[in-house]
């Protein structure tokens, strides 16, 4: 952000929006004017001297310099001036000038992007490379005539390997219609062995009921959480920090018309809500600053519509900062913010918790569970289900040892907490080999857990 722009932001922050004043709220009028100017594409050269004079005039108003002339009747920082009076304070030339000055902040290229949908033509992307493939199949150990569920079909890498390893039957699930279409193709390749289902974990009970699948009837369940490469690499889906596109991020790709997009979250959540999303789901250390900047941009410039605009906003909050990933490669400053929004939009953590509850109901005794997670928020839920830190079928937000350090629990309570239907097969998580990480860097943070249902 340029210094001129920062100056105006500070100034306008002195006028918090006072909705009771409607059109007479100066803060609102100025914000609308600035937004309008930043959205317009006209170029007018304006001398910065005039801009400074306008700024000084506004500043005097903000400091209640004219208190004798314009009496404030309410205890509010808004001035209560009319729209015309406000227009005189900040002329359209000044606003256009500000926009010109800030063209680096929201690059011109981005402002000319269509705001709603990009092309709806199907695009072919390189298929997803399955992570920890051999390890997952070894633990699942498919056998002839048994029944398995691949809960996260994606591009079907794990599913194909399950079908190749034995003459078993496979149900595939994915919430993404693109993945579902791939599962239908796989079903044609393996006639009478594959049942493709389209839906979320939370929709699975109804889908299985329609197919006549009963509880305690499945021999193995696989979860490979997160996004597929087809989702991440397709800019139009809005998941990618490096490919520009409309900020969508819905794994279901519009299947559910009521599901909110990332763009709608950024346009409607308040500052504290955005902060919580970024802090909790992204573990982002600059969550507060980024949330504040998004709100400022929203009032003064425009809503954040594209992935590139969001990356620009986050970068403006982390000047001179170079972040590295686990492989010490430069990573976008916006990676955690994207992760947070994706988790929120897709309700991912609740879905994972629900998926684990379903695994317990649908597996036979001695059925096998394999999970692959990609960050600690996902892994913690799996760990607590397997180890037995569950209350009312929900993974506890805190580890058992912190639940009540001062209280001595009776044996029944301890047994209730520790009750688990699972026996872990691997004591520690399994991670990809160096060769796998080199071949497929997206596997770098994967963790595999395997367990047997014992009761
Ligand atoms: C990492 S990919 C799976 C890749 C797959 N194992 C393969 O080998 O190609 C994760 C997939 O899970 C799907 N997914 C994530 N959460 C889901 C949920 N709650 N219900 C159903 N599918 C989900 C995503 O749409 C995505 O296609």
Q: For 164-204, what is each residue's pLDDT tens digit?
A: 999 999 999 999 999 999 999 999 999 999 999 999 999 99
Q: Mean pLDDT: which of 23-32, 38-47, 169-178 is highest?
A: 169-178
Cβ contacts of 338 within 8 Å, gap of 6 or more: 239, 240, 241, 249, 307, 310
Architecture of domain 231-346 in this structure: Orthogonal Bundle (1.10)
Q: Which ligand 1 atom is at minimum distance from the Cα of 159?
A: 8
Strand partners of residue 246: 306
Q: How many CB atoms lie within 10 A of CB 335?
A: 17
Q: Which of 104, 40, 42 is nearest to 302 (CA)?
A: 40
Q: Quick one: DSSP state of residue 230?
A: H
Q: Which residue CA neighbors atom 18 of ligand 1 most closely?
A: 200
Q: Which of 176, 235, 181 is nearest to 200 (CA)?
A: 176
Mutate which of 206, 251, 444 for ligand 1? The one with the most ligand atoms within 8 Å of its CB, which is 251
pLDDT at 27: 66
Burial zone of 26 (CB within 10 Å; 0-12 exposed, 13-18 middle, 19+ buried): buried
Q: How many whole angstroms separate alpha carbon 59 and alpha carbon 367? A: 70
Q: Which ligand 1 atom is at minimum distance from the Cα of 199?
A: 21
pLDDT at 341: 97
Per-residue pLDDT tens digits for 132-172: 999 999 999 999 999 999 999 999 999 999 999 999 999 99
Check: CB of residue 358 under 8 Å from CB of residue 205.
Answer: yes
Q: Is the pLDDT of residue 38 over 80?
A: no
| DSSP annotation string for 255-268 | SSTTPPPHHHHHHH
Q: Which residue CA neighbors atom 14 of ligand 1 most closely?
A: 152
At 92, list the tokens.
Answer: 């359209």
Q: Is the pLDDT of residue 237 over 60?
A: yes
Q: Which ligand 1 atom is at minimum distance from the Cα of 153?
A: 5
pLDDT at 415: 73
At 441, list the tokens.
Answer: 């860097």
CB under 6 Å to ligand 1: residues? 128, 130, 152, 154-158, 173-176, 179, 200-201, 224, 226-228, 251, 351
Q: Is the pLDDT of residue 35 over 70?
A: no
More confident residue, 25 or 218: 218
More confident residue, 141 or 74: 141
Q: Which of 124, 127, 116, 166 is nearest to 144 (CA)?
A: 166
Which H helix or E strand runs over 48?
helix 48-62
133-229+348-453: CATH number:
3.40.50.150
Q: How far is the CA of 150 from the centre of ligand 1 (A)?
A: 9
pLDDT, the chain, mean: 81
Q: Which residue CA neighbors atom 22 of ligand 1 most closely?
A: 174
pTM of the model: 0.75
Q: How many whole angstroms separate alpha carbon 425 and alpha carbon 438? A: 27
Check: CB of residue 187 under 8 Å from CB of residue 194.
Answer: yes
For residues 74, 75, 79 and 83, what is the CA-based torsion angle, rounded to 10 degrees? -50
Residue 43's pLDDT band, with cuts at 50, 70 and 90, is: very low
Residue 214's pLDDT band, with cuts at 50, 70 and 90, is: very high
Mean pLDDT of 271-277: 94
Mean pLDDT of 410-416: 71
Burial zone of 229 (CB within 10 Å; 0-12 exposed, 13-18 middle, 19+ buried): middle
Q: Is the pLDDT of residue 93 over 50?
A: yes
Q: How far is the CA of 250 from the centre of ligand 1 (A)?
A: 12
Mutate which of 152, 225, 353 for ligand 1? The one with the most ligand atoms within 8 Å of its CB, which is 152
Check: CB of residue 115 under 8 Å from CB of residue 247.
Answer: no
pLDDT at 141: 97
Q: Collapsing DSSP states into helix, strand and coil, what is residue 388?
A: coil
Burial zone of 264 (CB within 10 Å; 0-12 exposed, 13-18 middle, 19+ buried): middle
Check: CB of residue 150 under 8 Å from CB of residue 172.
Answer: yes
At 229, list the tokens.
Answer: 């490469």
* Distance in angstroms between the alpha carbons of the first and the last residue of the chain: 59
Residue 49's pLDDT band, with cuts at 50, 70 and 90, is: low
């Amino acid at each position: 952000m340029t210094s001129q722009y920062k100056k105006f932001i500070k100034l306008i922050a002195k006028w918090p929006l006072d909705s009771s004043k409607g059109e007479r709220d100066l803060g609102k009028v100025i914000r609308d004017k600035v937004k309008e100017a930043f959205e317009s594409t006209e170029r007018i050269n304006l001398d910065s001297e005039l801009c400074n004079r306008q700024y000084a005039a506004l500043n005097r108003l903000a400091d209640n310099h004219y208190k004798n002339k314009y009496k404030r009747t309410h205890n509010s920082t808004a001035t209560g001036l009319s729209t015309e009076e406000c227009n005189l304070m900040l002329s359209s030339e000044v606003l256009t000038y500000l926009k010109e000055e800030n063209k680096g902040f929201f690059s011109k290229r981005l402002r000319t992007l269509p705001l709603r949908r990009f092309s709806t033509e199907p695009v072919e992307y390189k298929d997803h490379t399955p992570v920890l493939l051999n390890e997952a199949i070894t633990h699942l150990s498919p056998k002839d005539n048994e029944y398995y569920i691949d809960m996260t079909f994606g591009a079907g890498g794990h599913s194909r390997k399950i079908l190749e390893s034995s003459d078993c039957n496979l149900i595939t699930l994915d919430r993404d219609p693109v993945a579902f279409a791939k599962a239908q193709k796989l079903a044609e390749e393996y006639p009478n062995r594959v049942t493709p289902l389209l839906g979320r974990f939370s929709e699975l009970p109804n889908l299985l009921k329609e197919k006549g699948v009963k509880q305690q009837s499945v021999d193995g369940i696989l979860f490979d959480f997160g996004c597929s490469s087809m989702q991440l690499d397709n800019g139009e889906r809005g998941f990618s920090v490096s490919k520009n596109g409309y900020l969508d991020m819905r794994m279901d790709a519009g299947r559910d018309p009521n599901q909110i997009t990332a763009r709608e979250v950024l346009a409607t959540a308040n500052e504290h809500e955005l902060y919580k999303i970024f802090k909790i789901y992204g573990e982002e250390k600059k969550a507060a600053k980024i949330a504040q900047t998004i709100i400022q941009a929203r009032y003064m410039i425009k809503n954040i519509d594209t992935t590139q605009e969001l990356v620009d906003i986050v970068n403006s909050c982390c000047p001179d900062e170079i972040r590295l990933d686990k492989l010490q490669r430069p990573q976008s400053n916006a990676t955690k913010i994207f992760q947070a929004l994706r988790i929120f939009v897709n309700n991912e953590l609740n879905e994972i918790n629900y998926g684990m509850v379903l695994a317990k109901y649908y597996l036979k005794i001695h059925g096998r569970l394999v999970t692959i997670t990609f960050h600690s928020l996902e892994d913690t839920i799996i760990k607590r289900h397997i180890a037995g830190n569950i209350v009312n079928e929900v993974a506890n937000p805190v580890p058992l040892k912190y639940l009540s350090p001062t209280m001595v629990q009776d044996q029944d309570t301890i047994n209730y907490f520790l009750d688990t239907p699972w026996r872990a097969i691997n004591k520690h998580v399994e991670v990809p080999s160096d060769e796998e990480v080199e071949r497929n860097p997206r596997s770098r943070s994967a963790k595999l857990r395997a367990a047997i249902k014992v009761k």
